[in-house]
Amino acid sequence: SIPLGYFGGIGAASRQGILVKGSVFLDLMTQLKTVVMDKTGTLTKGVFKVQEVKPINLDVAQLAQLTAALESKSTHPVATAILAYAGDGYQSIAVQNVEEIPGHGLKGQVAGKTMLAGNGKLLRKFNVAFDEALTQIPYTIVLTAIDGQFSGYFIIADEVKPDAAAAIKRIKAEGIRTVMLSGDKTAVVEAVARQVGVDEWHGDLLPEDKVQQVERLKADMASNPKARLAFVGDGVNDAPVVALADVGMAMGGLGSDATIETADVIIQNDEPAKIATAIDIGRATRRIVW
């Protein structure tokens, strides 16, 4: 017979702003044992704001303009924050040969000088010495270098989404292991983890490290052949892990096209609570079908 409940389930989900790309995924939602989430844009708003600028051997406006010129070639949320802070003016600065290094940041020619803007990993990669204590501050920091010299940093903050902690609580109440993975530094990841209450978290991850973590978490469930894993991401760099998960979920508002295309389930209004709602709808649909 035709499983009418599935059509009902997909319809019910879509009325909640949850797009499910096939009835099989609603069923898989009921078998989740692990839910892995990205931090930025998934559990946090993904809207970064510059809090402070600390230049070395130049002034705040100069550092902001030069860095904004470089970041104007990136669509990363931290780039958007630096551009908003810098205001107008950087557009007239010459920028060439910009390279975006995933999980690290940017390198390029700005006003005729070689400039770096990114995290500690980026500066270490190019052998630029900086105060390592900066990596312990529980904020996202964009470090900069000009012609191989550390030239200051930006302190940038994001905010946890208002429903994130309640969403994690509902998912955990289903007996599901909750894990947050992030490319952001561990000090920030830990602060967010404490606010939202996930069981486990890992920071300082490169895109390939996230793949490895998801493979490990899948291996952890191997004793139960029916156990499934979901990954929920916002887009930037997440397509490989979204594809690897049994159920790949994407936040639709901020998500990149690649991730939305790969995802099985799309949460249009970006609320983490909809992860739990999708599980509830999966269960209700199953009761109707069988």
38 in active site = yes
Please report, as ranges, the residues that interact with Mg ion according to CB under 5 A: 40, 236
Letters for 170-199 (x = contact with ligand ADP by CB under 6 A, - = none) are ------------xxx---------------
* Out of 12, 53, 69, 78, the residue judged to bind ligand ADP by CB under 6 A: 78
- Give, as ranges, the residues between 224 and 243 that touch ligand ADP (CB under 6 A): 236-237
Shortest reach from residue 70's CB to ligand ADP, in Å: 8
- Give, as ranges, the residues between 114 and 143 that touch ligand ADP (CB under 6 A): 117-119, 140, 142
The smaller minimum CB distance to ligand ADP, of residues 184 and 264, is found at 184
Distance in angstroms (rounded) separating the CA atoms of residues 146 and 184 = 23
Shortest reach from residue 184's CB to Mg ion, in Å: 9
* Out of 5, 103, 108, 252, the residue judged to bind ligand ADP by CB under 6 A: 103
Measure the CA dihedral 36/37/38/39, to 10°.
-130
* Concatenated DSSP letters of 111-162: TTEEEEEE-HHHHHHTT----GGGGGSSSEEEEEEETTEEEEEEEEE--B-T
Could you say which of 38, 184, 246, 270 is catalytic?
38
- Give, as ranges, the residues between 246 and 265 that touch ligand ADP (CB under 6 A): none
Q: Which of the ranges 2-10, 69-77, 158-166, 255-263 carries the binding residues for ligand ADP, by CB under 6 A?
A: 69-77
Shortest reach from residue 32's CB to ligand ADP, in Å: 21
- Using left for φ > 0, alpha for ψ between -120 and 50, and beta otherwise, residue 16 falls in alpha
76 binds, among ligand ADP, Mg ion, none (CB under 5 to 8 A by kind): ligand ADP
Beta bridge partners of 155: 52, 141
H or E element at residue 100: strand 95-101
Q: Does 39 bind ligand ADP (CB under 6 A)?
A: yes
H or E element at residue 38: strand 32-38
* Spatial contact of 245 and 227, defined as CB atoms under 8 Å apart: no
* Out of 74, 144, 151, 259, the residue judged to bind ligand ADP by CB under 6 A: 74
Indicate the length of the chain as a whole number.
Answer: 290
Q: Locate tokens 């793949």: which residue?
A: 211
Within 10 Å of residue 288's Cβ, how many Cβ atoms?
A: 12
135 binds, among Mg ion, ligand ADP, none (CB under 5 to 8 A by kind): none
H or E element at residue 248: strand 247-251
Site residues (vs ligand ADP, CB under 6 A): 38-40, 71, 74, 76, 78-79, 102-106, 117-119, 140, 142, 182-184, 236-237
Return the active site residues. Answer: 38
